[in-house]
Amino acid sequence: MLVQATIPLVIAYGRGVTTRQIAQAAGVGEGTIFRVFADKDELLDACVTAVLGPGNTLAELAAIDLDRPLAERLNEAAEALRADLDRMGAVLGALHTPGASRPRPGREEGTLPDRSTAMASTRDALAELFAPEREALRLTPGRTAQLFLGLLLTEAGGGGATGDIAELVDVFLHGALTPATGKA
C-alpha cells in the first residue's frame, strides 16, 4: 500500500517527495512508513522494484477475455504493456539524479527483479492470448508472442513518438502490404 501510494508521488516529485506527502497519500501516519521501511531511500528502492517487476502487467494480461477477437485482445495487451513501460520510465527518470551513484551502501545485490525472467513471464502471458488461434498461426503461440513483444518494445524504445496501437496490431496481424497488392 505504501509503495503504490508512493509511485505517483515519485513521478511528480522525484527524490524530493517527502515522507509527509507519502503518509498523507497512503492515509497513514508518518511513523508507519518507518515501521515498514528503514528510511525513505528504502521505500524508493521498493518503488523501483515494484515498477520493474512484471506483476502488474501479468495481472492485466491475465484479465483479458480470451473470447474476444484476437485484434481486440492484442490492442488491450499492447495498451497495458505501453502503460507499464511509461510508468517504469517515469519512475526511473524521476529518481535519476545526474552524478548519483546507486546502490546505496548496505543495499544487497540482486534485489531488483530479474529482467529476463520478467520478460519470459510477460511473453508467456502474451502467448496465452494467441493460444485460442493456435491452429491459424504460422508460428507457435510462444514465438508469435515473442515477436509481438519485440515489436512493442522496439516501438517504445525508438526514441520518437509511439504510434497508434491499433495500427501496430493491424500490421502485426495482417502484414505490411495492402490486401490489393497481394505480392511479397
Q: Specify the range with the lowest mean pLDDT, choosing from 10-19, 109-118, 172-181.
A: 109-118
Residues 84, 124 share a domain? yes
The residue written with cell numbers 498461426 in the block is 137
48 found inside a domain: yes
Residue 116 has pLDDT above 80, yes or no: yes
Residues 24, 81 share a domain? no
119 found inside a domain: yes
Residues 75, 11 share a domain? no
| Distance of alpha carbon 1 from the chain centroid | 19
CA distance 5 to 20: 12
Residues 44, 58 share a domain? no
11 found inside a domain: yes
- Residue 123's domain comprises 54-96+111-174
> For residue 29, which of 17, 19, 37 has the smallest C-alpha distance?
19
Whole-structure pTM value: 0.77
Residues 88, 19 share a domain? no
CA distance 20 to 83: 28
The residue written with cell numbers 515498514 in the block is 36
Residues 90, 150 share a domain? yes
Residues 64, 43 share a domain? no
65 found inside a domain: yes
Per-residue pLDDT tens over the stretch 35-83: 999 999 999 999 998 998 888 899 999 999 999 999 999 999 999 999 8
CA distance 60 to 79: 10
Cis, bond preceding 132 (omega within 30 deg of 0): no
180 found inside a domain: no
Residues 69, 7 share a domain? no
105 found inside a domain: no
Q: How far is CA 59 from CA 15, 56, 80, in A?
A: 28, 5, 10
Query: What does DSSP assign to residue 160?
Result: S
Give the total number of structural domains in the chain. Answer: 2
Which pLDDT belongs to residue 141?
Answer: 97
Residue 183 has pLDDT above 70, yes or no: no
Can you tell me whether residue 6 is helix, strand or coil?
helix
The residue written with cell numbers 491452429 in the block is 135
106 found inside a domain: no
CA distance 166 to 119: 23
126 found inside a domain: yes
Residues 2, 29 share a domain? yes
Q: For residue 108, what is the enclosing H or E element? A: none
Give the CATH number, domain containing residue 33: 1.10.10.60
Residues 15, 92 share a domain? no
